[in-house]
Structures are given as C-alpha cells and as structure tokens.
Structure 1
Amino acid sequence: MIDLVDKLVKYKDLSEEEFLYLLDNQNDFSEKLFKESRKITNKYFKNKIFVRGLLEISNICKNNCYYCGIRRDNKNVKRYRMSKENILKSVQFASDLGFKTFVLQGGEDPYFTDEILVDIIKNIKKISPNSAITLSIGEREYNSYKILKESGADRFLLRHEAASNELYKKLHPEEMSLSNRKKSLKYLKELKYQTGAGFMVGAPYQENKDLVKDLKFLKNLNPEMIGIGPFISQHDTVFSKEKNGSVDLTIYLLSILRIMFPNANLPATTALATLSENGRVRGIEVGANVFMPNISPDFAKENYNLYDNKLYTNMECAENLETLKSNFKKIGYEIVMDKGDFVQVD
C-alpha cells in the first residue's frame, strides 16, 4: 500500500478517510511529512520570507463571533477607528521602510463604505504605485468586492474559520452562516482577487473530522493564501475558559497545506508566536513563507485584541525591521520586501 505522505505529495489530496488517519496518527507521519514540506518550500521559495505590513484599521465590528475579543457585545473593548489620515501616514511610514504590500485588516465596521475605502485605496496607490493592497474586512456584497477590486485592491483575506456547518454554528451567532461566508469567498475568486481563506486550530468543539472538512474545502476553493493559527481564548468571550489550540497540530497542518498547495502563500501567524516562543520559526521551517509585521499606530496595536496576550511589540513591529532581517538571517532565511505575488505553476 502506498504511504499516505507519498500519496499526498503525488496527488496533493487524499480521501476524507485518509486525511483523518493522517491527523489521528501524527507521530507516525510527522518526520516524513516535515521532510517533504521542507523540500517543496525550498523548491518554490528557496529561503525567502515575504513581508507584508499589517495595518489594523478598526476594532469596531457588527458581528458577535463567540471566540473574538472585538465581538460586538464586548463592552470592555476600547474601540477605535483609524482616520484616512492615520492610515495613509502609516502606509507612508511602511513604504519608506521598503514595504510593498499593505494589509488593511479590521472588524466588519459599517463606517468603511465602498466610497471611503476606494478613496483610501487610491491614495495608497499614489504613495506606493507598485504596491499590493490586501483587504481583510469581512463579508460584503459582490458589487462591493468588485468596486474595491477595480479601485486597486489586489488581495482579500477572509478566513472561513470552520468548513463544518455544525461547528460553524457552535462558534457563531444565528445571524451568521457558513453558506454566506462561502459565497463571499466564491465572489472573491470570481473577481480574480488573490484570495485567502483559513481556519482556527483547536477551536472549541473541533475534532479531527472537522479539520478534514477544512482541508477538503480548501482543496476545492484553491486559494492563493491560507492562514491558520491556534485558537487562543479571550477573557471577555463565550469561550474564555476554553483551552488554547495546539501549536504542534498547527505546525503539522501547515506542513500538510504546504504539500497540498506548493506555491500558496502561508503566513507564520502572530498566534503561533504568542503561544510558543519558537512557534513562528517552526512554522517557517515546515512551509510558512509570509510574515506580517505590524505597521499600526500604538493605540491600534494595543486595542486590536482578538485573543489574550497577543504579541504586538518587538519583532511584531515594522520599526524593528533591521533586527527582524538579522534574526531571520541567523536561521538561514532572507526577508524579501517585494510584493510576493502568487505565481501559478504546474
């Protein structure tokens, strides 16, 4: 019988039963899995780590996701919304440092209408004409995505969070639906955004069979970017007492995703670094090729708390770029400041 790792490398996919076996027996496959994902990463990216400037534009959100620290019903959050002037000032700062990709992330804040976002996007392109703009601002209508794309947005991150409908319902209030989330991702793909999806690892109620559904959903969607990170509880949420997700399982899944999507952009997330001092390095060693230093003003960094103990100082900050480059160089990797577009290969 063909080894499951060999089969995954060959076909970039497995049956649900095979994926489940792979997840249920990590100790049996991890060594070979990591070896293969490292080989694939080296083939497509060498030792390059693409850097994106992360700008957290608002912690105001109309949604009430049970796991999220900036959920609508959390009255203990110090709310903020960045002005256009602050956003452009932050972009100018990052552009001067050499950044070529800017990620505008925020809660689903109704203030940011198409008109306001189009104005911001066009002004960012004036500051840095050859840059890439990534939006991560949630579910919108098709025409909204279309308008933003036509104004200059290049990429869109929208984590699906859970591809199992049963699990999605346990993590979100009734007014939110997995079908609508999937519809939004479908719109983004149709509009030719470089599209990012992803999920939490170790979310409350999550089982390996749910993670299998995530892997199969991503295979069908075929996104250009995939962001995963361990679930981390937040003290003002429904799940404040739940245990955090596993760093080891997150690393294992990153390795699987690198084999499934050889040329996709996979970030080494802040959540990984928050739970483990060497979590980000471990993620990079098995296939992550993107790192997003924070270019937000201090008031935003301090209050955009999706989960507890989020890192937002030292290596998370764009101000420390030179130290960051030096640290990555010590472990054999090179920080690359260009756009790092997704490139389709056979």
Structure 2
Amino acid sequence: MKKFEDILAQNDFSRDDLVRLLEAEGAERTALFSAAAARKEAVVGKKVYFRGLVEFSNECSKDCLYCGIRHSNSKVVRYEAADEDILAACRFAWENKFGSVVLQSGELSSTNFINRVDYLVKQIKALSNGGLGITLSCGEQTRETYERWFESGAHRYLLRIESSTRELYQKIHPNNDHHSFEKRLECLRLLKECGYQVGTGVMIGLPFQTTENLADDLLFLKSIDVDMVGMGPYIEHEDTPLYEFRHLIKSKQERFDLALRMVATLRLLMPDINIAAATALQAIDPAGREKAVKIGANIIMPNLTPSAFRKDYQLYEDKPCLDEDADQCRNCLEARIELAGSEIGYGEWGDSKHFERRKI
C-alpha cells in the first residue's frame, strides 16, 4: 500500500488514492488539509472572491427528492422577487465592489422565464457599465437559451449534477424523462460549447452514497474539465421524500468533516479551478465556510436575496443568514475571511484560472 505522504505528493490520483484521502483521519487528515492549503496558495493564491447571491424565485418545475422547494411541496410559500428588488441587490453588489453576482432560481423553461432572465442580465450589465460578472444558476435549458443568455452578458453557469453515479442520481430524482441523468450531462456539455465558465457540484453524505461514489464524483469533475465547483454536505429536509431515509445517513458532523475532505482533495486533484465554500457548511458549523477557505475554497457567496424571501428559499433545513441584510452579511463574511488568513478580491471577477488556461 502507498504511503499517505506519497499520495499527497502526486499530481494524478487513482480512485483508490482518492478513497484514501477521503477517509483520512487524525494525522493524515491534518496532512491532507496542509497539503491542500499549500497547493491553493501556490496555484490560485490567497484571494477569496465574492459572488453576491440573489435567489430571485423559488418556483420550480422539478421534483427532486431531496429539495425543499421541489414542485410537489405544497408547504412552500412561492415567490417571484420583483425586477427592481433584484436589480437593487445587484446595484449593492456593484457599489460594494463584490465583482460578481449569481442569479439563482428554481428550474423553469417557459418563454416568460427565459425572457425575464435575459432582461435581468442585460440590466445588470447596464447598471454596472459591464463591470459586474454574472453567474446564472437556472437549471436545464436549450442550447438556444444558453446562447442567448451568454450573448446578453452572462459568462458563468452553475448546474449541479448532485451525483455522477447514475444509479444514485436515479435514487434521488423521480424516475421520469423530466429528471434525466443524460439530459443533465448534455446540458453541461452545451454550456461549455456556448463558451461559459462551467460549474457543477455534488451533495456529500447522501443516503445510499459510498466513499467510492464520492471518489467517482471527483474523477467525473476532472473528466469533464469543469472550471468551478460548488459542493457541500447533504442536509435533510423533512418535507421531502428522501427524509424517509435519514436513518441511512451519517451524523451532521461526519458529513461536515467529509465535505471538508472533499474540498481539500479536489484542490489537490484540480489545483487551478474555483471552489466555493458552500453555505450548507455553515448550517452545521458556524465557522464552516472559513474552515473550507483555509483548506482549499476560494469563492464565497454572500446572500443578497431580499430578506423577505430568504426563509422561502430553503433547499434544506437550518439554512443560515436568513435574518441578515446585505450589509450585515458582507461585514460578517469580511471578518470570517480575514480570520481564515485570506483577503477579499474586491472589484475582481475572479475568473477560474482553469478556464483561462482551457480557452487558450
């Protein structure tokens, strides 16, 4: 068997290597985190980039079995933030030098929805004189829609796969054509062809999930040459079908620890990509996001969603920062990032170095 320190020194990793890293405990866990922190600083530096998050609608046509805003959850209070409120949040991001915003919603594909997103992208570009970077996270769409939004000014797109293992994907989604594993993969391919910086991610600690599944997820991220990753611990929601299987999952602390090992391992595997410190980490540990920053993450998403709607965009239970306004969220994160020994890249898009190299 390979020595652990020899695995850490590698640039390429086998599935078995990744499993060893993901199962690291004690001194090996410490060594993993130290190696990932060093790799991060050497390749992408100490800067952390803000992506002001605006969850502008919780209307969704999907029925994913893990998600609190799934279409069939009748307990959700549905909302559509007004255009002026969305643009005010983006103006706050621009005036406070966040560099970028993320427009996120449930998955819809109606003509009205497509037109609205296009309008918002154009307005964000106008109010910032083209200065704000724009990430979209609006689900599966056609090539034509992706191209239209890209031409209007969006340049990053996040579409999480949640699990790259087909069998597990099918266990956490309804078994119908509207929740197709192949469609998800096709959309990721289309996004890359349209010119986006492409992001995806997985949930960590799902029912039925093995460490080998997570190792495969990491290899999947590398195989599709992804530019950015947002992944965090699975947190159950009582109004979802997957809640029935909560007896199969690890404790929240175990899921948190596993998520940190995933972040650190991914930094070693793909040193030049952008990795987000998921908000779900803070739902388990108050210092969760800065712990992720210390060992590999370099993206933070302050929540700029109008406060009146935040409690209604709960994909999982115990979501943090529901009562903070934008100023409070910014100030809190500034302090957290400084404590993590990093600095904020104010006024910078913070594009993925991997993307910059890939497009050459």
Alignment TM-score, normalising by the size of structure 2: 0.90
Q: Is the 8 A contact 1:197 1:227 kept in 2?
A: yes
Partner of 1:295: 304
Letter in 1 for 2:82: S
Q: Give how far 1:29 is off.
A: 3.2
Distance 1:309 1:21 in 2: 31
**Partner of 1:180: helix, strand, or coil?**
helix
Partner of 2:195: 192
**Partner of 1:71: helix, strand, or coil?**
coil
Deviates more, 1:1-10 or 1:145-154: 1-10
Q: 1:6 to 1:140 in 2, by over 3 A?
A: farther
> What is the correspondence of 1:284-323 to structure 2 with a 5 Å cutoff?
284-313=293-322, 317-323=326-332
Q: 1:49 to 1:77 in 2, by over 3 A?
A: same
> What is the correspondence of 1:155-170 to structure 2 with a 5 Å cutoff?
155-170=156-171
2:27 is equivalent to residue 10 of structure 1? no
Partner of 2:98: 99
**Partner of 2:102: helix, strand, or coil?**
strand
> What is the correspondence of 1:20-169 to structure 2 with a 5 Å cutoff?
20-27=19-26, 29-111=28-110, 113-128=113-128, 129-169=130-170
Equivalences, count: 345
Q: What residue ranges of structure 1 are gaps of 5+ in the alignment? A: none
2:353 is equivalent to residue 343 of structure 1? yes
Deviates more, 1:85-94 or 1:219-228: 85-94
1:68-122: per-residue Cα shift (whole Å, max 9, x none)?
A: 0000000000000123222112211222222220100110134553322221111
Q: Is the 8 A contact 2:109 2:141 kept in 1?
A: no
Q: Give how far 1:330 is off.
A: 3.6
Q: What residue ranges of structure 2 are gaps of 5+ in the alignment? A: none
Partner of 2:333: 324
Q: Give how far 1:261 is off.
A: 1.4
1:177-210: per-residue Cα shift (whole Å, max 9, x none)?
A: 2111111111111122111011000011111121
Distance 1:166 1:312 in 2: 34
Q: Is the 8 A contact 1:65 1:172 kept in 2?
A: yes
Q: Is the 8 A contact 2:307 2:324 kept in 1?
A: no
Q: Is the 8 A contact 2:146 2:191 kept in 1?
A: yes
Distance 1:17 1:10 in 2: 13
Letter in 1 for 2:91: Q
Q: Give how far 1:25 is off.
A: 4.8
Distance 2:269 2:59 in 1: 35
Q: Give how far 1:8 is off.
A: 5.4
2:175 is equivalent to residue 174 of structure 1? yes
2:255 is equivalent to residue 256 of structure 1? no
Q: 1:267 to 1:316 in 2, by over 3 A?
A: farther
Q: Give how far 1:141 is off.
A: 1.2
Partner of 1:183: 186
**Partner of 1:210: helix, strand, or coil?**
helix
Alignment TM-score, normalising by the size of structure 1: 0.93
Letter in 1 for 2:304: I
**Partner of 1:263: helix, strand, or coil?**
coil
Q: Is the 8 A contact 1:293 1:316 kept in 2?
A: no
Q: Give how far 1:253 is off.
A: 0.8
Percent sequence identity over aligned pairs: 35
Q: Give how far 1:319 is off.
A: 3.9
Distance 2:13 2:325 in 1: 36
Letter in 2 for 1:142: R
Letter in 1 for 2:161: H
Distance 1:219 1:42 in 2: 20
Runs of 4+ in 1 over 6 A off after TM superposition: none
Distance 2:353 2:66 in 1: 34
Q: Give how far 1:316 is off.
A: 8.2
Distance 2:4 2:148 in 1: 44
1:206-245: per-residue Cα shift (whole Å, max 9, x none)?
A: 1112112211111101111111100001111112251465
The structure 2 residue matched to 1:211, chosen from 203, 214, 217, is 214
Deviates more, 1:42-51 or 1:226-235: 42-51
Distance 2:6 2:62 in 1: 42
Letter in 1 for 2:225: N
CA RMSD of aligned residues (A): 2.1
Q: Is the 8 A contact 1:9 1:260 kept in 2?
A: no
Q: Give how far 1:150 is off.
A: 1.1
1:9-32: per-residue Cα shift (whole Å, max 9, x none)?
A: 433x32223323433454563222
The structure 2 residue matched to 1:274, chosen from 283, 294, 299, is 283
